[in-house]
Amino acid sequence: MRILTCIFIICAAFGHLSAKDWRGLTPLHSTRSDVDRLLDTPTNKNNADAAVYRTETEEVLVRYSTGSCIEKWNVPRDIVLFIQVFPKKRPRLSDLKVNISKYKIVRDPEVLDYSDYEDDEDGFGLNVNTLEGLVHIFTYYPTIKEDKLRCSSP
């Protein structure tokens, strides 16, 4: 029974990898109140532009708009800018059945063991330890369709 519960949790957390939202939270559309309703109280209650939430299966970092164009998005205060999910049990990239050909691969020359896989069309990214093949971070961010909400350049 415990194995079935774990499988269900993993499927629920990672079942919609091509979607731009996470558990119904969508960057540039969801609010801090939406996140708090879903994830309860953040561990860092006094931070104006970011919050960390802990669940049984992951740690979640949510970055919020301050209402100014500092973050490059013309949206009101407390709108979700991006969500990063750090699973406690890191899944293998190969087990997720992700179509890697959709993704742009970004490598940091100073951090050779990790690569970022980015899909700007869906607003979804993966940070992968390339030596182990394990996903360390799932990132949900605005899609290219949301460019209309970008602040104009100074």
Predicted local confidence at residue 44, as pLDDT: 83
Predicted local confidence at residue 8, as pLDDT: 38
Three-state DSSP at 100 gives helix
Predicted local confidence at residue 4, as pLDDT: 34
Predicted local confidence at residue 48, as pLDDT: 77
What's the gap between Cα 105 and its chain centre? 17
Predicted local confidence at residue 153, as pLDDT: 67
Residue 114: both structure tokens together? 């990790």
Q: Alpha carbon of 55 to those of 40, 58, 61, 86: distances in Å?
A: 9, 5, 11, 10
Neighbours of 101 (CB within 10 A): 5
Task: Summarize pLDDT for 123-137 with one digit per residue, the tens.
Answer: 999 999 999 999 999
pTM for the complete prediction?
A: 0.83
- pLDDT lower than 70: segments of the chain: 1-19, 46, 153-154
